[in-house]
Amino acid sequence: MLSLRYVTEHWRRELVTLSAFLIAFAFIPRFISDLNDQIPVVLFIIILFLGGVRFTAHIFHEIHHTSGGMHYVHIPASRLEKFTFNGILTLLLFPSICLLLYYCGNLIGNLLAPIIPSFINYRIIEFSFSTLLPNHTLGKWVLQLLSYHAIFFLGSLYFKKHPTTKTFLWMILLGCALSIVELFLIKIIWGGVDSLSTLGGDSSSVTIAVNGELLSTWIKNTKLATFISYLAISLSLLFIWIVAYLKFNEKQV
């Protein structure tokens, strides 16, 4: 019923948006100079990021206003169902539709290629799922998608006006703050320790200096560091989604 309600109220807007995506995948890559087979992939990433951010950041737009909020409250579904439906709509359905449009757009473009004059640089482009999502980058893709989704999903609940812009600025400020904290921690932990006692009991000055480049290489190449990084991101995502649900409950009340 929630799905039916969403389609009934927003089908015109979504049809226009998805049609624009389909046209973009079918024609834009072939009219870019110095064309290569990676152009459709880059275009897919851009549309998935920009379109997904915009879509997610406005998913709770109506509850910030009196008429829309009252309408949303009276939908005969639990708060958890409403919250979960919007999460599935933005996290799973939108990327899936983008992937479908990516293939359909390229297919239409390839079918039209033989009848389009060659002087406008229009040709057949080969595409495959492995080209779009190489196995070694799939994990990073998923984490990035989940991270952006969680942040802009929460931003949609916190910001009444201009949620996309405000969430993006909030991300920049938070990133700068975390970078400063990280630099201080690296300086404190690895920057230098003086007058340490050795195992033999002799007191000597020991300097622990870790080069930033070596530290970066260690973080990238160590399985433990990768596991810790993935665990930290997963816990952060869980925390953001819980906060978003609590904020949604507060709005409904």
Tokens of 94: 């939108």
In this predicted model, what pLDDT tens digit does every residue of 10-48 receive, in sequence order?
Answer: 889 888 988 888 888 877 766 664 555 566 677 777 888
DSSP string spanning 25-79? HHHGGGGSSS--TTHHHHHHHHHHHHHHHHHHHTTTGGGGSHHHHHHHHTSSS-H
Query: Residue 129 has what pLDDT?
Result: 57
In this predicted model, what pLDDT tens digit does every residue of 106-126 receive, in sequence order?
Answer: 888 778 777 766 655 666 666
Using pLDDT thresholds of 50, 70 and 90, give the confidence band for residue 222.
low
Question: Alpha-carbon distance 107 to 95, whole Å?
Answer: 18
Report the domain count for the chain.
1
Lowest mean pLDDT among 118-122, 184-188, 231-235: 118-122
Cβ(248)–Cβ(60) under 8 Å? yes
Count of CB atoms situated within 10 Å of the CB of 234: 12
Q: Which of 45-54, 109-118, 127-136, 235-244 has the highest mean pLDDT?
A: 235-244
Strands (E), the chain: 196-197, 203-204
What residues make up the domain containing 154? 2-252
